Structure 1
Amino acid sequence: MTAFIKVHNPANGEFIQEVPISTQDEIKKAIIKGHGSFKSWSKVNAHERSRLLREWAQKIQEQKEDIAVLMTKENGKPLCESLGEVDYATSYIDWYAEEAKRIYGRTIPASTESKRIIVSRVPVGLVAAITPWNFPAAMMTRKAAPALAAGCTFIVKPAEETPLTSIKLIELAHEVGFPMDVIQYVNGDGKSVGELFTSSPYVRKITFTGSTPVGKSLIKNSSDTIKHVTMELGGHAPLIVAEDADIDLAVQQTIATKFRNAGQTCVCANRLIVHESIVETYSSKLIHAVSQLKVGNGLEKTTDIGPIINEKGFNKIVSQIKNAVDQGAEVMIGNHFDASSEDGYFFVYPTVLKNVNSSMTIMQEETFGPVAPIISFNKLEEAIEIANSTPYGLAAYFFTNDYRTGTYLTEHLDFGIIGWNDGAPSGAHVPFGGMKESGLGREGGPEGIESYLETKYLSIGNL
């Protein structure tokens, strides 16, 4: 009997659709098909791959509104954010449509007159991806586009909470002419599908966006067959507001980075580290801005903050707030919830905490929710120590108008992505990825296609 994943709207628990769970045999067959089609797809010329990618992006844009509504229904984020994500997703396809034509090799001067040396770049093979629920369109295309551009075949397991968006995008890829076996999807729980991906000798690369513990498991399991891996893992982003910062700009950008997708992003600001001379002014302005945010169903045009994706995520957020308050943190706004396990919806109203210290759970673990803890500092070295005090190093932000302060912070913050007076540094044209336990490799930019390519060296003698 076929088992199904039932997809519900996290804003109201409404049933949307069910999708069949792929059996182990079906997943193994999909892997074999992807491996088999690699031989022909890798020989398709770069200009043809580029054309198909451009047509895929165009097809997605033609159905942008419908895709955004589908995304909001299964994910909960405000519709305006879903519309923005469709654009973000297609920007990766557009970018790598161009990069497909820029996979260059080189010739190297030989040590003798009778030799010629040629270096070429070739696709790694079948790529298996596991993508998260918080950006169901962009996290898939950020992996699929460079893989297909490089000449790899691609198979993805989307998140169980949000499979519908990825399925729709892949169906559109088939409509524009991508062969069925070149880009595929399977459905199931991450652990079992991940084990099939990592154990298969036909899968030559694993790319994953998600938690650090799961990423470590995938890396370990991939070692038996020496697979290529790209891991975009957990974050715990600090946001530093220096003494000379433009406070209004800092507040505006804090709202943008902290409360996007209800704080359910890997790069959102989780720790607000503010100079003691301006902390009261900054806090007051932040509270005012937060008070204007409307919580509700993402399909309502006025909604700024949608629901938490599920009960597990909701309980984690509530636990972190309680832990902080029990240890002396003061709630400046928020700490209000509207949730029902029975009806299947979980809302956390945007919350700001002050009098926070580094021993609190919220300062040590990623929150993934609309909660902003504020801690003050006196000297810049103290802010850097707080910022770098976790195992994570994905994104960091700071606000200053002094080039010396900015340069110092840039050089001493151990993070792969840094925003200077900028709370939204992501883009298809730039390398996205973290340091320390926040990941391996980069996605986006010219760097994003590198991990889908092998280097082949040819030495021609006896000329």
Structure 2
Amino acid sequence: MPTPPHTVSDLPVAQFVGGRWTESATTMAVLNPATGTQVATVADGDDVTALAALDAAVAAQESWAATDPRHRSDILLNAFHLLHAGADRIARTITLEMGKPLAEARGEVGYGAEFLRWFAEEATRGSGAYFRAPSGGRRIAVRKQPVGPVFAITPWNFPLAMVTRKVAPALAAGCTVVLKPAPQTPLTAMEFMRILVEAGVPAGVVNCVTTARAPLVSAPILADRRLRKLTFTGSTGVGRMLFAQAARRVLRVSMELGGNAPFVVLESADLDKAVEGAVLAKLRNAGQTCVAADRFLVHESLVAEFTERFVAAVAALSVGEGLDESTRIGPLIDGAAVQRITAMVDEAVGLGAHQHTATAELGGAGHFLRPAVLTGVDTRSRLWTSEVFGPVAAIRSFTDPAEALRLADDTESGLAGYVFGENLGDTLDFAERLHTGMVGVNTGAISDPAAPFGGTRSSGLGREGGSTGLDEYQELQYLAIER
């Protein structure tokens, strides 16, 4: 691996372009959200860096596409093993720059690594078609080929897994990549670049541009005719803007956008399962996940006991710095997130909601917020209508499952939902009628590299993971063959 030009905390203050760490005239600070202290300084890329990264990806595209699928598979498997070998170091990096507890960071490393293994296996499973035309005479052949250079934009909440979920299928399909990680969490992406080099990824196949000036970097890449695909995970608002830019060049696009997941507890639900699932679906990563449960709809016969047990379970979770092994709820990403969620809670209480826990900021420089549970939340409040992205649960009761379904679907989002019930027929019927791309049935954890991850409506388009995940990075070519 090329030696970085200089390092801070053993990581390069540079961009990774064309297999080399390159200097940048401008830098940006990476802050620990638990302490407010500076973790490192990294390069702050610009339009020149962006186009250099795309140049490198374009130059490597033809040779990488021609590489044997087995060779691409072997490289991804190498990266899988190297991630596990460096799991403690990478987990600590994740915790330092985005705050999640170490136990969750270790879980993210394992989850993120699985995308490498899954797509290493998918890379060797060629598919297509060859058959005689119905009219006779000619033969029809259909083959898959890589779509071409990919621009991947990833968020801060899962700084490793969101990268591997995009990079692994792109590499498996034979596509080169320009990666732009979130400015809050560039260090994990840089760690992953080092792993890819060690795993055997050739120069230029994956490039990483770290920047706090996203529009300056994204605009020239999206406007360049050589780019063939955009993949983005982030907010719906930003996704709409990027989609409009991508439309000008008719790019292939896949987007995983915001959610506002309903969590429905039917009359037949097992409350032990429901409460355990609620804690997991709501409070993983301090609620900072796109599939987090936001709106809890509980049958009126269960709502009092569910609320009591859920509040007790939430209150038992320790809040603190992620590097402390006893911590179960880490900080929010920044002070703006704390202020936004506090305002949402205050508005809901003003509209008549009852707050069962004391939402309050913790002292110190970190961006901490104690988790909160509110009942009787007005459906007009932002706490109900908007993605919370924090540790606050809004509960309403229902009497009729049809009413619960109407309330659950009363949103522009359609990413994920959760349904709990022991009457499997009724529970599956409810789950299948939800207008969401994913549904957890009696479980609060739905993400799996072997399953297609994605949503409907304003929550995006396309799927990541599963057997369909590779299709997002491939084009179909039809050959008409005359005898």
TM bin (shorter chain): over 0.9
Query: In the alignment, which residue of structure 2 is the partner of 1:133?
Result: 156
Q: Output the CA distance in 2 between the equivalents of 1:279 and 1:237.
A: 18
**Per the alignment, in what secondary structure is the counterpart of residue 397 of structure 2?**
strand
Q: Output the CA distance in 2 between the equivalents of 1:180 and 1:70.
A: 25
Of 279, 284, 306, the match for 1:260: 284
Shift in CA distance, 111/384, structure 1 to aligned 2, threshold 3 Å: closer
Of 418, 427, 444, the match for 2:448: 427
**Is 2:95 the counterpart of 1:72?**
yes
Letter of the 1:33 counterpart = A
Query: In the alignment, which residue of structure 1 is the partner of 2:475?
Result: 454
**Is 2:14 the counterpart of 1:14?**
no
Q: Output the CA distance in 2 between the equivalents of 1:100 and 1:408.
A: 36
**Is 2:329 the counterpart of 1:305?**
yes
| Alignment TM-score, normalising by the size of structure 2 | 0.93
Q: Output the CA distance in 2 between the equivalents of 1:253 and 1:163.
A: 31
Residue 196 of structure 1, CA deviation: 2.3
Deviations 1:51-108 (CA, angstroms, capped at 9, x unpaired) = 0000011111110000000110001000000000000000000000000011311102
Q: Output the CA distance in 2 between the equivalents of 1:217 and 1:291.
A: 39
- Within 5 Å, which residues of 2 pair with 1:2-151? 2-111=25-134, 114-151=137-174
Query: What runs of 5+ residues in structure 2 fail to find an aligned partner?
Result: 1-23
| Alignment TM-score, normalising by the size of structure 1 | 0.97
Deviations 1:200-256 (CA, angstroms, capped at 9, x unpaired) = 111100000000011111111111111000000000000000111001110011001
**Is 2:435 the counterpart of 1:411?**
no
Residue 2 of structure 1, CA deviation: 1.7
Letter of the 1:451 counterpart = E
**Per the alignment, in what secondary structure is the counterpart of residue 363 of structure 1?**
helix
**Per the alignment, in what secondary structure is the counterpart of residue 348 of structure 1?**
coil
Q: Output the CA distance in 1 between the equivalents of 2:79 and 2:309.
A: 44
**Is 2:224 the counterpart of 1:200?**
yes
Q: Output the CA distance in 1 between the equivalents of 2:466 and 2:373.
A: 35
Q: Output the CA distance in 1 between the equivalents of 2:439 and 2:316.
A: 27
Q: Bigger shift: 178-187 or 105-114?
A: 105-114
**Is 2:203 the counterpart of 1:180?**
yes
What is the percentage of aligned positions where both structures have the same residue? 40
Q: Output the CA distance in 1 between the equivalents of 2:50 and 2:155.
A: 19
Query: In the alignment, which residue of structure 1 is the partner of 2:241?
Result: 217
Q: Output the CA distance in 1 between the equivalents of 2:139 and 2:446.
A: 44
Query: In the alignment, which residue of structure 1 is the partner of 2:261?
Result: 237
Structure 1 runs, 4 residues or longer, greater than 6 Å off: none
**How many matched pairs?**
459
Shift in CA distance, 17/107, structure 1 to aligned 2, threshold 3 Å: same
Deviations 1:409-448 (CA, angstroms, capped at 9, x unpaired) = 1232100000110110111000000010000000000111
Q: Output the CA distance in 1 between the equivalents of 2:27 and 2:149.
A: 26
Deviations 1:374-411 (CA, angstroms, capped at 9, x unpaired) = 11111001111111111000000010011232132123
Q: Output the CA distance in 1 between the equivalents of 2:279 and 2:136.
A: 64
Letter of the 2:361 counterpart = F
Residue 287 of structure 1, CA deviation: 1.1
Query: What runs of 5+ residues in structure 1 fail to find an aligned partner?
Result: none
8 Å contact 2:46–2:217 — kept in the other structure?
Answer: no
**Is 2:387 the counterpart of 1:366?**
yes
**Per the alignment, in what secondary structure is the counterpart of residue 304 of structure 1?**
coil
Two-structure CA RMSD over aligned residues (Å)? 1.2
Q: Output the CA distance in 2 between the equivalents of 1:147 and 1:364.
A: 35
**Per the alignment, in what secondary structure is the counterpart of residue 478 of structure 2?**
strand
Q: Bigger shift: 296-305 or 2-11?
A: 2-11
Query: In the alignment, which residue of structure 2 is the partner of 1:401?
Result: 422
